[in-house]
Amino acid sequence: MSRTWIIVTEEKPVAALAAAARALGKTVAAVVVGPRALADAAALAGPDEVTWIDAGQDRGVEAFAAPVAGLIAGDAPKAVLAGASPESRVLAGRVAATMSASLVPGVLSLSMAEDRIVMDRSGLDGRVIETLEAAGPVVAIYAGDDIPAATERSGAGAAVTPLVAEGVADIVIEKTEPAAGADAGITKAQVVVSVGRGLRKKEDLSIIRDLASAVGGEIGCSMPVADDLGWVEKDRYVGRSGQHIAPRLYIAVGIQGAPQHLEGIRGARIVVGINNDPEAPIFKASDYGIVGDLYEVVPALLTALCN
């Protein structure tokens, strides 16, 4: 029986990758690139077999793309799954090229229909679920959340087989240092109130500060507010290339909800959108929302919070 492979470069989402691979009804084999501890953790998260490549300290994980591709392509699997991290994606790209496989990002689940792989993927910035069918082998970049590892497997993980990699690329990590703003309160805050272009002038930030203060939160902002307007410090910009935060409450005030902003708040537990445009994408990503003018809604919230 051929295997379904998963590519692991970090602890999450290994259990979800293994479960999604198992849905195809085959042996699940993992290739882990990273430290031994990662391989051991992956072995407990659901795969039947683990091949471990020690990435060492200085090499980028991406340097091992060719040996990972050689290993997996040699097994000629029908499907391969990888996480969506940049490192995993680079490995997945090389695997797809080596196998002459299709490559599909944003995949949430896979199934078999006769001998074809059928995938549901999140498309158009999460606005639709698209069902796709691959005629040949497919490499899927998994975009779902992680799940707890299956309990029956806990304590009896898969065997870990080390592999000495050959054909390692010249990709060297020169240094790793805390990103600017990594210590900004926003990254650790339990409550964040962010403001976007709905704010008319810098002076009006005072009402956002008042709201943040009333809910015991930190101030954040969308990219234009920090970058174009310079109204809020850049280390408080929330988004794909800014801060990725996971507060228990995120209140987006006057923020439209561009995809790159939403990427920064994926870890938030409860999202509240406040916007005068009922069609603003922020509401699609929100648990609660108020459609209205922030200049009326924020003072009303301050009053309601006092009561």
User: Which residues 238-297 are close enough to bind another protein by CB under 8 A?
Assistant: 240-242, 248-249, 258-260, 263, 269-270, 272-273, 278, 283-293, 296-297
128's torsion region: left (phi>0), alpha (psi -120 to 50) or beta? beta
* CB count in 10 Å sphere of residue 304: 9
Binding residue for another protein, selected from 130, 204, 233, 277, defined by CB under 8 A = 130
Q: What is the closest distance, in whole angstroms, from the C-beta atom of residue 107 to another protein in the complex?
A: 10
Which residue number, 43 or 251, has a Cβ lying nearer to another protein?
A: 251
Judged by CB under 8 A, the number of residues near another protein is 97
For the segment 161-190, give every residue that binds another protein (CB under 8 A).
169-180, 182, 187
Q: What CA–CA distance (Å, rounded) separates 64 from 9? A: 11
Q: Which stretch binds another protein (CB under 8 A): 11-19, 41-49, 157-165, 222-230?
A: 222-230
Indicate the SS3 state at residue 155: coil
266: left (phi over 0), alpha (psi -120 to 50) or beta: alpha
Give the interface segment with another protein, choosing from 12-20, 32-40, 146-154, 298-306 (CB under 8 A).
298-306
CB contact at 8 A, 227 and 197: no
CB 26 → another protein: shortest distance, Å? 20
Instruction: Report the nearest approach of another protein to the CB of residue 17 (Å).
Output: 16
Distance CA 133, CA 136 (A): 9
Q: If we measure between CA atoms, which residue out of 29, 50, 71, 61 comes closest to residue 168?
A: 61
Contacts of 304 (CB under 8 A, 6+ apart): none
In whole angstroms, the minimum distance from the beta carbon of 90 to another protein comes to 5
Q: Which residue among 45, 95, 219, 265 contacts another protein (CB under 8 A)?
A: 95
Given the complex with another protein, which of 23 and 215 has the nearer CB atom? 215
